[in-house]
């Protein structure tokens, strides 16, 4: 692994917040293990191994029932580790894949059978090489038959250029980490308000209210991120998702305690009804509808 790589928390606390029955960790990854599932040659970082057994152990420890495993860029478009984890979960995990424009229908069918229900478009320059927009349209067209959603990952400064692009998709688009706002700017800043407007004007756009540990500028307990997540949850309760982001790739400041991350949830989803939407109803509708 990279010299400065921070390994996931070895012994997360038991959360004080009791997750509702059937809760879904809707954003997490698996890394390798690399002897079985080598990392991609084009990767921008080399992580520690963090395989399915560790993920499922964490799921049980925190009180989740299900996982949505999002393909991490260190595996490129080789989705085998993610698909293997989905297959061995016994239908308790779904996947979000990364594919190229020339992906075949047979490959998509195989992924669908393994549990894949979405593709990820990644625009974060430190993580991936540029992909032409035309290729994304090609992928979106190919996965429409399977009724998959699209997960997009970008950083706040790219929303101006991405905004018209995202509005062209008619299927469900899920934005990672509420579009990574700069929380030091406050929630009234035009960048964050542009994101709220995008969701306001496009009912097919969902958001993951995730990664306070990444968005914070002040550190744990992430007080500076709460108003951002809370604003999104309150306004769009029927199209938000939550996840741990385990094993927390590329964290530089600190490694979060996953139990403490679960305890963050009631600060942004303050009633039992909204917690149920965020953690159960919404992810089940999106990823387990058949």
Residue 194 Cβ, how far from ligand 0GY at the closest point, in Å? 20
Residue showing tokens 């990664």: 211
Q: Closest Cα to residue 207, out of 182, 237, 187?
A: 237
127 in contact with ligand 0GY (CB under 6 A) = yes
**Piece in contact with ligand 0GY (CB under 6 A), picked from 9-17, 187-195, 244-252, 272-280:** 244-252
Contact residue for ligand 0GY among 25, 84, 213, 245 (CB under 6 A):
245
Kindly give the residue spans of alpha helices, DSSP state H, lying in the chain.
52-62, 80-87, 105-114, 133-144, 159-166, 190-201, 212-215, 226-235, 258-268, 272-276, 282-287
Indicate if 245 belongs to the active site.
yes
Q: In terms of CB distance, is 6 or 274 closer to ligand 0GY?
A: 6
Token digits of residue 9:
């928390």
Please, which residue, 72 or 225, has the CB nearer to ligand 0GY?
A: 72
Site for ligand 0GY in 48-87 (CB under 6 A): 72-74
Query: Catalytic residue among 245, 257, 258, 263, which?
Result: 245
Q: Least Å distance between CB 265 and ligand 0GY?
A: 17
Give the bridge partners for 255, in sequence order: none
284 in contact with ligand 0GY (CB under 6 A): no
**What's the Cα-to-Cα distance from 140 to each of 38, 160, 161, rounded to whole Å?**
27, 21, 19
Residue 250 C-beta: closest distance to ligand 0GY, Å:
4
Tell me whether residue 89 or residue 250 sits nearer to ligand 0GY (CB atom).
Answer: 250
Residue 164 vs residues 74, 103, 107, 139, 274: alpha-carbon distances, Å: 29, 25, 30, 18, 30
* 213 contributes a contact to ligand 0GY by CB under 6 A: no
**Total of chain residues touching ligand 0GY, rule CB under 6 A:** 10
The rounded Cα 12 to chain-centroid distance in angstroms is: 20
**Minimum CB distance to ligand 0GY, residue 263 (Å):** 20
CA pair distance 25, 280, nearest whole angstrom: 9
Chain residues that interact with ligand 0GY, rule: CB under 6 A: 29, 72-74, 127, 153, 176, 245, 249-250
């Amino acid at each position: 692994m990279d010299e400065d790589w921070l390994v996931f928390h070895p012994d997360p606390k038991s959360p004080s917040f009791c997750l509702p029955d059937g809760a879904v960790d809707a954003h997490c990854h698996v890394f390798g293990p690399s002897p079985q599932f080598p990392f991609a040659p084009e990767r921008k970082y080399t992580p520690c191994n963090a395989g399915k057994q560790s993920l499922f152990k964490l799921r049980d420890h925190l009180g989740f029932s299900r996982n949505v495993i999002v393909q991490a860029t260190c595996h490129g478009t080789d989705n085998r580790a993610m698909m293997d984890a989905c297959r061995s979960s016994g239908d308790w995990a779904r996947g979000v894949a990364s594919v190229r424009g020339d992906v075949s229908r047979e490959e998509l069918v195989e992924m669908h059978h393994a549990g894949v229900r979405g593709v990820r478009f990644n625009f974060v320059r430190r993580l991936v090489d540029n992909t032409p927009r035309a290729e994304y349209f090609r992928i979106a067209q190919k996965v429409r038959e399977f009724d998959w959603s699209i997960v997009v990952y970008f950083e706040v400064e790219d929303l101006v250029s991405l905004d018209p692009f995202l509005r062209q998709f008619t299927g469900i688009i899920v934005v990672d980490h509420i579009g990574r706002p700069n929380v030091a700017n406050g929630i009234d800043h035009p960048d964050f308000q542009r994101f709220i407007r995008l969701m306001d004007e496009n009912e097919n756009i969902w958001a993951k209210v995730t990664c306070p540990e990444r968005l914070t500028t002040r550190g744990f307990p992430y007080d500076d991120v709460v108003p951002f997540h809370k604003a999104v949850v309150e306004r769009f309760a029927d199209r938000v998702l939550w996840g741990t982001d385990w094993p927390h790739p590329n964290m530089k400041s600190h490694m979060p305690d996953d139990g403490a991350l679960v305890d963050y949830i009631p600060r942004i989803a303050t009633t039992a009804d909204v917690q149920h939407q965020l953690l159960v109803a919404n992810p089940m509708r999106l990823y387990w509808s058949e």
